[in-house]
Amino acid sequence: MSGEEINFDGLVGPTHNYAGLSEGNLASARNRDTIARPREAALQGLAKMQQLRGLGLAQGVLPPHDRPNIAWLRSLGFAGTDAQVWERAWASEPTIARAALASSAMWAANAATISPSADCEDGALHASVANLQTMLHRSLEAQQTERALKRLLQDTSRFTVHEALLPHDALSDEGAANHMRMSAAPGAPGVEIFVYGREAQEPRAGFPARQTLEACRALARRHGLASARTIFARQAGEAIDAGAFHNDVVAVAHAHVLFHHEHAFADKAALYADIRAGARGLFDPVFVEVPAARVRLEDAVSSYLFNAQLVRLPGASSLTLIAPSEVRENNSTSAFVREMIAAPGTSIGDVIYVDVRESMRNGGGPACLRLRVEMTADERAAANAGFFLDDALAQNLEAWITTHYREELAPGDLSDPALVDETQTALDALTRILPLGGDFYPFQRV
């Protein structure tokens, strides 16, 4: 059966800011308390989606979450009007308030793990919402993500959207950012590779490892994956400590190609062998390894060379890397990419640079911003068409962003009670642009 990989990008929310919330994410720490530009951030994200659509790729959109998260603050005992709740939270619990404001749902690669129907025992497409339990601000995303995915994938005879795993340290799950898939072509059965940073209960000294083996195994079981084509690989501790808080900071796969840094995985030889075994009879895997002698882990992390989208453009014989412009500005990564795409017989034959700088400053590159959903033509027809980007939707979203988003959010602006009404008005309007319904956001249900 033929299929298509569709990228669903998270729209950057109106409260995009730099709060330094993610330990182990070097960009988030570095840019803490700097001035954010929400309007520009959202327009950059939309421009990236439009650029990819212009190249002939299918593109979808996922909505931002309601922030500040007033419902959560109320559950913590804050009372009064929504604006008062926000003021009071800032006054007494600034750490909690910062978490309640994060626009981190924009990084849709962390929304869920998707297994296309070709891999799943019951022939349905399975999606497991990520619990994102490691970081407080991200642990607030699962419920709303589940609502969004259920709006997109409504047809329960074709799609199964699983709720997040119990949010506990033992089942720590960050979604597709730690999941790769290789196959002959979209629609064909593939090899699913789950990358974990630690096992439950395993002590770890350095930066947090946000994905456990136990969570990976649970996802594979839920999705009904064939064990012969399911791989669990450990991320190198060295990579995590160098700032690769998700595997997609040091590796990306598409079709038969795995593009990765030399130090991405704890046991590369075992991973290659497992992929070859899983792929037998289906496709010949190609491994494009970037040696540390060419690109240091530090440069891979600061440029986000691997946080790129690896895509096949219509009619192209090789793959194209959609990389952040920071890769072009780093001498070692730009030189490596230039040589790679020019090499005879290369599997990755082109590069296109995109500007998502506002997101990058929080550690989110082009690949973080999108959730890949591989669908057959029938599945695509059954999915909610209103989430697929076309010119009319792009125009509406652009106008919506321009109307509702602030140009700047400086640290001193974050406590502004006016933000509550402003963002709720914006999101309420969004429910009439995307097919979300008038009860999508918690503030619409009170």
Point out which residues bind ligand SUG (CB under 6 A).
17-22, 25, 28, 102, 104, 107, 109-110, 135, 138, 177, 245-246, 248-249, 362-364, 368
Smallest gap from Cβ 22 to ligand SUG, in A, equals: 3
Smallest gap from Cβ 177 to ligand SUG, in A, equals: 3
Smallest gap from Cβ 208 to ligand SUG, in A, equals: 10
Q: Which of 110, 158, 174 is nearest to 372 (CA)?
A: 110
For ligand SUG, the closer of residues 40 and 379 by Cβ is 40
Query: Given the structure tokens 């999941």, which residue do they identify?
Result: 179
Mention every residue, 6+ apart, whose C-beta is less than 8 A from residue 162. Answer: 126, 127, 128, 129, 222
Q: Which of 75, 67, 224, 63 is nearest to 149 (CA)?
A: 63
Residue 228 tokens read as: 């012969």
Q: Determine the Cα angle at 230 with ends 224 and 236, to 5°.
A: 135
Amino acid found at 107: W
Select which of 5, 87, 174, 214 is catalytic.
Answer: 174
Residue 209 tokens read as: 């490892």
Smallest gap from Cβ 62 to ligand SUG, in A, equals: 14
Amino acid found at 430: L
246 is catalytic: yes
Q: Which of 428, 411, 370, 404 is nearest to 52 (CA)?
A: 370
Residue 346 has phi, psi (to 5 degrees) of -65, 150
For ligand SUG, the closer of residues 107 and 440 by Cβ is 107
**Is the peptide bond preceding residue 167 cis, with omega within 30 degrees of 0?**
no
Smallest gap from Cβ 298 to ligand SUG, in A, equals: 17
Query: Distance (Å, rounded) from C-alpha 327 to C-alpha 336?
Result: 10
For ligand SUG, the closer of residues 17 and 376 by Cβ is 17
**Secondary structure class of 160 (helix, strand, coil):** strand
User: 225 with 188: CB under 8 angstroms?
Assistant: no
For ligand SUG, the closer of residues 3 and 363 by Cβ is 363
For ligand SUG, the closer of residues 22 and 376 by Cβ is 22
For ligand SUG, the closer of residues 236 and 279 by Cβ is 236
For ligand SUG, the closer of residues 40 and 248 by Cβ is 248
User: 237 with 224: CB under 8 angstroms?
Assistant: no
Select which of 137, 246, 263, 404 is catalytic.
Answer: 246
DSSP-assigned letter for residue 166: P
368 is catalytic: yes
How deeply is 383 buried, as exposed, middle or buried, from its count of CB atoms within 10 A (0-12, 13-18, 19+)?
buried
Distances (CA, A) of 427 to 68, 246, 301, 385, 423: 12, 29, 33, 20, 6
87 is catalytic: no
Residue 121 tokens read as: 């025992």
How deeply is 74 buried, as exposed, middle or buried, from its count of CB atoms within 10 A (0-12, 13-18, 19+)?
middle
Smallest gap from Cβ 390 to ligand SUG, in A, equals: 26
Strands 309-311 and 286-290 come out as: unpaired
Smallest gap from Cβ 23 to ligand SUG, in A, equals: 9
Smallest gap from Cβ 59 to ligand SUG, in A, equals: 18
Indicate which residues carry an active-site annotation. Answer: 174, 246, 368
